[in-house]
Structure 1
C-alpha cells in the first residue's frame, strides 16, 4: 500500500504522494543493496565463464601461456573496476534514499 489517495477534479486527476516514512526508506535501501549484490554476482559469473574459456583455449594450445595470464589479469582488473562502480552507485543511491 503506497498510501495514495486520488482525487478527481473533472478533467484533472490529483494524487498526493505522502513523504516516505523512515521504515519505507530503509526498505528501499535494502532493496538497492540487494540489487547491487545481484549485479556483483552477475559480474562474478561472467568472470568465471571467461576464465573457463581462457583455460580451455590454453589447454587446447590455442592460447599461449603469456597471453592466457595477460587475459586473466585484464579480466580480473575489469571485474574489479565494475564491482567498484556498482559499490559506488549502491552507496550513492542508499544515501539518497536515506535523505529523501
Structure 2
C-alpha cells in the first residue's frame, strides 16, 4: 500500500462521493491492488501526477468497489493497451542498462 497516498485516497473518495472515513483502509487496499494489477500489465508509473495509469487505477478501483471487477479489463482494454505501449521504456535507456 506504499503507493497509495492520502491525496490519491481523497481523490478516489471524491469520485465516489464518500465523505466518511470508515472505509479508508478498504479503499486503500483496492487502490493498492489496482496499482499492482495495472503496473503488472503496463509497467511501473507514478501515481503522483495525472497520467493514463493513474486514471486506470482509479477506474479499476471503482469497478472493484462496486463488485464489477470482471468487466474492467473488457471495458478498458483499449486504454490498457495504449498506456502499456506508451509506458514502454525508451530503446536507448534499455540499451544503456544492457551494456552495464
Task: Please indicate, yes or no, whether the TM-score normalized by the shorter chain is above 0.5.
Answer: no
Larger Cα-atom Rg = 1
Q: Which has the higher contact order (CA 8 A, sep 6+)?
A: 1
The two structures have a TM-score, normalised by structure 2, of 0.30
The two structures have a TM-score, normalised by structure 1, of 0.30
